[in-house]
Amino acid sequence: MSKIIIAVDGYSSTGKSTIAKALAKELGYIYVDTGAMYRAVALHALKKGYIGVEGLQKEALIDSLSAVELRFEKQETTGAVEMHLNQENVEQEIRGLQVSNYVSEVAAIPEVRRFLVEQQQQMGSAKGIVMDGRDIGTVVFPEAELKLFVTASPEVRAKRRFQEMKAKGQEVTYDQVLQNILKRDHLDTTRTVSPLKKAVDAIEIDNSKMSEQEQFDKILKLVQDCLKAEKEDPR
């Protein structure tokens, strides 16, 4: 059976990675979380001291990119794929608040994007991949056979994220979470380089009123239709 590339783009906290992971598992495809790559570069900048009181030292970060080695490694026990930065498992660290606060700025640097996009394209060269991010259908794989653009209202996303954070014992209010989501939407959609936008040929999935199962079934049907079309008329 021929393999395809599935690009999953969309706003933050829409559950993109849950969808992408479940799809990859179902299809036996590779899953790549490109946000983790931007987060790892932001962590590298923090570790090297390129982020301080005077802000982000962009030139120093750009010059140091050749010393950044990123690798996704599958954990034998859980089966989860975790990010390694220069041979160190940084999966927990890249999800922390410090990295979250700086990652948008790091992701807006064109040299950083070029550095990561090249690696992402390499990962998809044999197809059979589900990649999630912001620019996968527009920049990384404009030729992807299936492009999904996941959305949900800011209030629904904030509510889900707030419940998740509270369950983890984090001290936040719903309003803080909503403000953070609105700020990230603004940064993601208005940056000059590769802003988040729906590719013209992407299929929009608004999951505000959908259960995870309904969403999965709908997307799996899209994948099956796409695989069938590929078989009948390969690109």
Q: Give least dist CB 197 to ligand DC, A.
A: 12
Residue 57 beta carbon to ligand DC: minimum distance, rounded to whole angstroms: 19
Answer whether 71's CB lies under 8 Å from 135's CB. Answer: no
Return residues touching ligand DC (CB under 6 A). 12, 34-35, 38-39, 103-104, 107, 133-135, 188
Q: What's the min distance (Å) between Cβ of 209 and ligand DC? A: 23
Our CB check for ligand DC shows the closer of 64 and 100 to be: 100
Give strand pairing partners of 146: 6
Phi then psi for residue 231, to 5 deg, are: -65, -40
Cβ-based nearer residue to ligand DC, 72 or 227:
72
Q: How far is the CB of 44 from ligand DC (least distance, A)?
A: 14
Task: Tell me whether residue 44 or residue 134 sits nearer to ligand DC (CB atom).
Answer: 134
Q: Measuring CA to CA, which residue among 158, 145, 128, 133 is closest to residue 203?
A: 145
Of 143 and 233, nearer to ligand DC (C-beta) is 143
CB of 9 to ligand DC, least distance (A): 8
Residue with smaller CB distance to ligand DC, 193 or 229: 193
Of 34 and 151, which CB lies nearer to ligand DC in the complex structure?
34
Beta-bridge partners for 149: 9, 204
Smallest distance from the beta carbon of 161 to ligand DC, in angstroms?
11
Pairwise CA distance, residues 49 & 116, whole Å: 21
Place of tokens 């988040």: 196
